[in-house]
Amino acid sequence: KLEAVIFDLDGVITDTAELHYLAWKELADELGIPFDRQVNERLKGVSRAESLEIILERSGRAWSAAEKAALTLRKNERYRELIGRLTPADLLPGIRELIAALRERGIAVGLASASLNAPLILERLGAGSWFQAVADPAAVRKGKPDPELFLRAADMLGVPPQHCAGVEDAAAGVAAIRAAGMKAVGIGSADRLGEADLLLPSTAELSPERLLGLFG
Ligand code: G16
Ligand code: MG
């Protein structure tokens, strides 16, 4: 029985991937490291520290922990400037309606984002009060594809994982949902998200009926 839906943020609630890209691109350009949108695909759903590691792969040198900390801080300051410009118009199609419809039916709604900036992003989107549980990525030991973030959100909602559906746009996220024992909804294409229990091309296709349908 569907009792809770746990959402990813970037790529599901809003498209912050482009803003991550712009902030990382500025940093990579300053450092003279090649970085493009294709490499950016690998950063989706991946933590800030792991994202930096992926970018530095092409730098041809080793970086100290202190240097890396300074670089992630610089990127995040720029990124926070960019997310400061988000408005409710940046919600992905159908998300506002879906969350309202779920809550009307008494289905709990949670967030499992790897982003430490999630509270600021939700506030900018006017979505600060929509989620009854927001799992804290700083409190989990392992990021996606580990199920920890999704399990944390379910626990905060007081719903067993088998009564939860998770919605994700990244392969690591779909793997995390499945490892948590939840039904996985993938937003995107089968080449990356083939493991999902339900695959939809866009958030506009999401509906309470489709999510309920996963539970027979
Ligand atoms: C997001 C993005 C990732 C980003 C991560 C950490 O995840 O997809 O690209 O590296 O959060 O973000 P921050 O630097 O803001 O802490 P999600 O889980 O919402 O898709
Ligand atoms: Mg995502």
Tens-place pLDDT, residues 26-71? 999 999 999 999 999 889 888 999 999 999 999 999 999 999 999 9
Tokens at residue 148, please?
A: 């920890």
pLDDT band at 174 (very low <50, low <70, confident <90, very high): very high
What is the pLDDT, as a whole number, of residue 178?
98
Residue nearest to atom 6 of ligand 1 (CA): 115
Ligand 1 pocket test: pick from 16, 35, 146 the residue with the most ligand atoms within 8 Å of its Cβ. 16
What is the pLDDT, as a whole number, of residue 216?
85
Ligand 1 pocket test: pick from 41, 48, 52 the residue with the most ligand atoms within 8 Å of its Cβ. 48
CA distance 154 to 151: 5
Residue among 12, 4, 5, 6 nearest 170 (CA): 12
User: 40: Cβ below 6 Å to ligand 1?
Assistant: no
User: 75: Cβ below 6 Å to ligand 1?
Assistant: no
User: 203: Cβ below 6 Å to ligand 1?
Assistant: no
- For the entire predicted model, the pTM comes to 0.94
End-to-end CA, the chain: 8
Cite the annotated binding site by residue number. Answer: 8-10, 24, 43-48, 51, 75, 113-117, 144, 168-169
Q: Could you identify the residue written with the tokens 């902030």?
A: 23
Cite the annotated binding site for Mg(2+) by residue number. Answer: 8, 10, 168-169
Distances (CA, A) of 132 to 75, 81, 129, 178: 30, 27, 8, 22
What is the pLDDT, as a whole number, of residue 200?
98
- How many angstroms is it from 46 CA to the middle of ligand 1? 6
